[in-house]
Chain A
Amino acid sequence: GEDVEQSLFLSVREGDSSVINCTYTDSSSTYLYWYKQEPGAGLQLLTYIFSNMDMKQDQRLTVLLNKKDKHLSLRIADTQTGDSAIYFCAESSHSGSARQLTFGSGTQLTVLP
């Protein structure tokens, strides 16, 4: 089945850039997503990218997709303490009539003052 992998932890200093990496195995993925989860809360969609795109930028967030290597990254510019959370990448696969998401293990981002 599909597999999505992420490193578990990342620490950065406030004001620096954060780069969270993700690899996936499903070559038929059409959409790839980044979600943020704060403690005890559900998932907040940050951004997504369609598989025929290489890059997408949305304010402080930049998503890079290397489809050949099946590698996705999320760059957060000027990281703030409020960005501390778990970040999940997910890929969208099709199963029957429903489009399902397969999540990575999540990367715990810690922003140090």
Chain B
Amino acid sequence: GAVVSQHPSWVICKSGTSVKIECRSLDFQATTMFWYRQFPKQSLMLMATSNEGSKATYEQGVEKDKFLINHASLTLSTLTVTSAHPEDSSFYICSARASGYEQYFGPGTRLTVT
């Protein structure tokens, strides 16, 4: 149990376009979802925390107008990278938490902006 999926797994987009990444908890209800960004050979950096039905809480330095997060249901959160630029190219990982302490991670989405 406790499976989290992400879609797409890999996306290439042109500079200036927007990209939406979905994160789904497949077999449990996630009251909280987290979005992380990981640069090559580096650790995960928390971007934002979202609770179902409320606005996301962004970490310092993360532009909320650029990285739009929607957590409309207990099984789905989306991250939209607006007006993407090459420096936004990264590996984006979501995680989901039910009521306990454990976070379950998705497989990640590799975004390449050309």
Contact = CB atoms under 8 A, between A and B. Distances in A.
A88 B44 contact: yes
Contacts of A35: 105
Interface in A17-46: 30-31, 35, 40-45
B90 to A, nearest CB: 13
Interface stretch (B14-22, B61-69, B78-86, B96-104): B96-104
A35 B34 CA distance: 16
B114 interface: no
Contacts of A41: 107-108
Given A104-B43, A105-B43, A43 B93 contact: yes
B73 interface: no
A36 to B, nearest CB: 11
B74 interface: no
Contacts of B110: 40
Given A92-B101, A98-B32, A43 B49 contact: no
B34 A42 contact: no
B75 interface: no
Interface in B38-79: 41-44, 46, 49, 51, 57
Of the listed residues B6, B46, B110, the one surrounded by the most CB atoms of chain A closer than 10 A to its CB is B46
Contacts of B107: 41-42
A97 B43 contact: no
B43 A88 contact: yes
B103 A106 contact: no
Interface of A: 30-31, 35, 40-45, 48, 88, 92, 95-106, 108
Given A42-B6, A99-B101, 17 more contacts: A30-B101, A31-B101, A41-B107, A44-B105, A45-B104, A45-B105, A48-B102, A92-B101, A98-B57, A98-B97, A99-B97, A100-B34, A101-B34, A102-B46, A105-B42, A106-B41, A108-B41
